């Protein structure tokens, strides 16, 4: 019997499909859904899946004197990233990239290990947030720019 996302209880909502008549359950792990596929050997019980999803930890971003700190959900420091001029930071849904708005109005996309991927925008940003795979940048003129992660402008609101 196959279960799909829309048939799952709300607490198990994630990218997963599993089959109960097989000796294993295949799960797409949400924080690394594009890179990692975890195989959990089980009888395929829903209780086993609940235990798995309750064990997934999400990280927290904290700004401290212009530096961006990535912390575990218990508060312990994982690493500090950025140049020390951050005014706003946001994780993408998979928590693999960090969007940092600097005091100079630049928007940086960094990997979760801190390495700079690219800088996007015109240099007039006050804040930037992930919007799916795109980026919503609020400018100092009060407008919102929707950009792709590569920096190309999609629309201005």
Please give the mean pLDDT across all residues of the chain: 77
Question: Do 48 and 106 sit in the same domain of this protein?
Answer: no
Q: What is the mean pLDDT of residues 41-69?
A: 72
Task: Identify the H or E element spanning 137.
Answer: strand 134-139
State pLDDT tens for residues 24-35: 444 444 544 433
In a domain, residue 62? The reply is: no
Q: What is the mean pLDDT of residues 45-67?
A: 75
In a domain, residue 60? The reply is: no
In a domain, residue 22? The reply is: yes
CATH classification of the domain holding 118: 2.40.10
In a domain, residue 64? The reply is: no
In the three-class reduction of DSSP (H, G, I as helix; E, B as strand; rest coil), residue 6 is classed as helix
State pLDDT tens for residues 58-89: 899 999 999 999 999 889 999 999 999 999 99
- Which residue range(s) make up the domain with 103? 85-151
Contact 114, 83 (CB under 8 A): no
In a domain, residue 67? The reply is: no
In a domain, residue 50? The reply is: yes
Number of domains in the chain: 2
Question: Do 98 and 144 sit in the same domain of this protein?
Answer: yes
pTM: 0.67
State pLDDT tens for residues 101-116: 999 999 999 999 999 9
In the three-class reduction of DSSP (H, G, I as helix; E, B as strand; rest coil), residue 92 is classed as coil
The token pair that represents 55 in the structure block? 């064990």
In a domain, residue 41? The reply is: yes
Residue written as token pair 């951050």: 86
In a domain, residue 28? The reply is: yes
């Amino acid at each position: 019997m196959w279960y799909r996302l829309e048939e799952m209880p709300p607490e198990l909502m994630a990218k997963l499909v599993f089959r109960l008549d097989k000796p294993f359950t295949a799960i797409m792990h949400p924080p690394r859904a594009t890179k990692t596929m975890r195989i959990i050997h089980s009888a395929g019980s829903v209780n086993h899946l609940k235990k798995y999803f309750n064990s997934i930890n999400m990280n927290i971003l904290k700004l401290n004197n212009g530096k961006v700190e990535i912390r575990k959900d218990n508060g312990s420091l994982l690493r500090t990233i950025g140049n020390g001029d951050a005014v706003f930071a946001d994780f993408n849904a998979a928590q693999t990239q960090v969007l940092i708005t600097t005091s100079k109005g630049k928007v940086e996309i960094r990997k979760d290990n801190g390495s700079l991927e690219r800088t996007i925008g015109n240099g007039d940003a006050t804040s930037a947030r992930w919007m799916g795979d795109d980026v919503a940048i609020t400018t100092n003129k009060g407008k919102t720019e929707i950009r792709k992660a590569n920096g190309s402008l999609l629309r201005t609101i």
